[in-house]
A and B are shown apart, each in its own frame.
Chain A
Amino acid sequence: MSRQSLAKAHQKIQELSWEPQYHEPYMKYGTDYTFRKAAKKDPLKQVLRSYFPMQEEKDHRVYGASDGAIRGNMFRQVQERWLEWQKLFLSIIPLPEVSAARSMPMLFHVVPNPELHNGQAIQMIDEVRHSTIQQNLKRLYMNNYIDPAGFNNSLRNFHSDYCGTIGRQFAEGFITGDAITAASIYLTIVAETAFTNTLFVAMPAEAAANGDYLLPTVFHSVQSDESRHISNGYATLLMALSDEDNRQLLERDLRYAWWNNHRVVDAAIGTFIEYGTKDRRKDRESYAEMWRRWIYDDYYRAYLIPLEKYGLVIPHDLIEESWKQIWEKGYVHEVAQFFATGWLANYWRIDGMTDEDFEWFEYKYPGWYDKYGKWWENYNRLATPNGHNPIVFEDVDYVYPARCWTCMVPCLVREDMVMADVDGVTRTYCHEVCRWTDVEAFRPTYQGRETPNMGRLVGHREWETLYHGWNWADVVSDMGFVRDDGKTMTAQPHLNLDPKKMWTLDHMRRCPPLGSPNVLLNEMDDAGKAAFHADYIRQGPAGRPAPENA
Chain B
Amino acid sequence: MTTTQRPERSVPKPTFTDAEAGAQEFPDSSASARRYNYYKPAKRKQTHYEDVTVDVQPDPRHYLSQGWIYGFADGSRGYPLTWTKLKAWGVDEPEPERGPGSGGRHVADWPAHGWHEFRDPNEEWEMTFYRYNANVVRQVNQNIENARMSKAFDQWTPNWVQFVERNVGAWMHVEHILGLYVFAACNRSAPTNMHNTAIAVNSMHKIRFAQDLALYNLTLSEEVEGFDGTAHLDAWNNDAAWQGVRKVTEALTAVDDDWGEMMFAANVVFEPLIGELFRSQLVMQAAAGNGDFVTPTVMGAAEYDFAQRDLRWTQACFGPLTQDREFADHNKQLMQGWLSHWVPQALEAARALQPIWSLPDAKPPRFEDSLDRAKNRFAGIVSDLGLEAPKELNL
Q: Contact residues of A with B, CB < 8 Å?
A: 2-4, 8-9, 12-13, 15-16, 18, 20-26, 28, 30, 47-49, 52-53, 55-56, 59, 63, 73, 75-80, 83, 94-95, 98, 101-106, 108-109, 117, 121, 124-125, 128-133, 135-136, 139, 142-149, 152-156, 159-160, 165, 168-169, 172-173, 175-177, 208-211, 278-279, 281, 283-284, 408, 444, 452-461, 463, 465-470, 474-475, 478-480, 483-485, 488, 490, 497-499, 502, 516, 519
Contacts and interface: CB of A to CB of B under 8 A. Distances in A.
A211 B53 contact: no
Nearest to A143: B34
Interface in B250-294: 250-251, 253-257
B338 to A, nearest CB: 15
Contact of A49 (B102, B103, B211): B211
Contacts of A94: 56
Nearest to A55: B130
A445 B224 CA distance: 60
B326 interface: no
A302 to B, nearest CB: 27
Contact of B21 (A148, A278, A460): A148
Nearest to B219: A4
Contacts of A18: 173, 176-177, 180-181
A484 B172 CA distance: 55
Candidate in B26, B176, B207, B208 with the most chain A CB atoms within 10 angstroms = B26
B185 A108 contact: yes
B164 to A, nearest CB: 15
Nearest to A122: B207
Contacts of B253: 20, 23, 25-26
B66 A460 contact: yes
Interface of B: 10, 12, 14-24, 26-30, 32-39, 48, 51-53, 55-58, 63-73, 75, 77-78, 98-104, 106, 125-127, 129-131, 133-134, 136-138, 140-141, 144-145, 172-173, 176-177, 179-181, 184-189, 193, 196-197, 200-201, 203-204, 207-208, 210-212, 214-215, 217-219, 222, 229-230, 232-233, 237, 243, 246-247, 250-251, 253-257
B16 A153 contact: no
B188 A284 contact: no
Given A121-B184, A124-B187, A147-B28, A155 B63 contact: yes
B104 A466 contact: yes
Given A26-B253, A142-B34, A502-B26, A78 B73 contact: no
A173 B17 CA distance: 39
Contacts of B63: 155-156, 159-160
Contacts of B55: 155-156
A59 B68 contact: no
13 contacts: A4-B215, A13-B210, A18-B173, A18-B176, A21-B246, A22-B251, A25-B185, A48-B208, A59-B131, A156-B106, A209-B12, A457-B71, A502-B27
B70 A53 contact: no
A454 B52 contact: no
Contacts of A468: 100-101
Given A105-B184, A108-B180, A108-B184, A52 B12 contact: no
B327 to A, nearest CB: 24
Given A59-B130, A76-B16, A459-B68, A484 B197 contact: no
A454 B138 contact: no
Nearest to A133: B126
